[in-house]
Amino acid sequence: MREIVVFSGSAHRALAFGICERLGVPLSPVELTRFSNDCLQAQLQANCRQRDVYLVQPLVPPTQEHLMELLLMVDAARGASADKITAVIPYYAYARSDKKDASRLSIGGRLVADMLATAGVDRVITMTLHAPQVHAFFSVPVDHLTALGVLADHFLGQDLTNAVVVSPDFGNAKTATQFARLLGLPVAAGSKKRLADDRVVIDAIVGDVAGRRAIVLDDEIATGGSILELLDRLGDQGCVEAAVACTHGLFVGKAVERLRGHPMISEVVTTDTVPPPSVAADWPELRVLSVAGLLAEAVARVHAGESVASLFDDVDPTLGTPQPRLFD
């Protein structure tokens, strides 16, 4: 079996180190150079010839910079005769650009997928896409992981008496329902209308939240606008407290200022698919759970030709092993 070689761009080396530690392999160095004309160059500092190469790079801000680093690393690995090249993209930012809902609008999710395939990627490992249909934009195999099990384990260690899982919108309600099943809780959802990237209106809550503790589940938190609007509506409906959970805690703009110390929030739980905010040490309500072990297990299974779907048999049936069907 070809040996594993893991490289990382500058987006999130701490996560790459965590993955390598669990795999028992070193994180191989990459030299990234910026020329006077602002062009980037990537040089892989370890032998790739006939190796199974994994490139760890979430597309976090500055997103375009990190995307270009990833493309250059893919090109370098292909030019170095790698046997297989897998892009490990825990956070695929362009998944938010998944449809043409206005005239003359670009679809970034598909374009970036095409760029990765053209550069030479043979497979993609990602986690919690903003829209599941983005999976179909790729012309190469995609292993779509979920952090629901990691998040659920955190809350299962707490007293969940009188708690309810709440989705900020109906689009996330299916995932919230699955999360509620793992916790054995009821589910509610907000009716949300987005006015701008950082402005939303939630005009109703579907479900019983009065007198309950809410566990708000979203796939990512950027500016925190949706969460604040939801908390206002939950408070109007008699909700007494809220824990906020997400897979991708970007916390850009005024998100930390908005969420830290909010009177209704007992804790904010996220994972390390993206780097934690610089003020994490001064935010006692923040809990960052590691998904390095889950990503490392996915890498090990891909390398060994084993099932990745079976990781989620007890977490999310839509991502788990297909079940046999009975026909008349």
Return the bridge partners of 40, or none: 34
The angle at the Cα of 30, spanning 26 to 36, to the nearest 5 degrees, equals: 165
Under 8 Å between Cβ of 265 and 234: no
The residue count of the chain comes to 328
Q: What is the pLDDT of residue 326?
A: 63
Average pLDDT over residues 87-106: 91
Average pLDDT over residues 269-291: 94
Whether the per-residue pLDDT at 319 is higher than 80: the answer is no
Q: What is the pLDDT of residue 225?
A: 87
Q: What is the pLDDT of residue 266?
A: 96
By percentage, how much of the chain surpasses pLDDT 70? 96
Most confident of 17-21, 189-193, 230-234, 257-261: 17-21
Mean pLDDT of the chain: 92
Q: What is the pLDDT of residue 133?
A: 85
* pLDDT band for position 62 (cuts 50, 70, 90): very high
Average pLDDT over residues 15-28: 97
For residue 28, the one-letter residue type is S
pLDDT in tens, 213-239: 999 999 999 999 889 989 999 999 999
Active site residues: 192
Average pLDDT over residues 121-142: 94
pLDDT in tens, 281-297: 889 999 999 999 999 99
Of the listed ranges 22-31, 168-177, 244-253, 302-311, the one predicted with least confidence? 168-177
Give the pTM: 0.93
Q: What is the pLDDT of residue 231?
A: 93
Of the listed ranges 1-5, 177-181, 212-216, 243-247, the one predicted with least confidence? 1-5
Whether the per-residue pLDDT at 106 is higher than 80: the answer is yes
By percentage, how much of the chain surpasses pLDDT 90? 78
Q: What is the pLDDT of residue 141?
A: 96
Residue 114: how many CB atoms within 10 A of its CB? 13
Whether the per-residue pLDDT at 195 is higher than 60: the answer is no
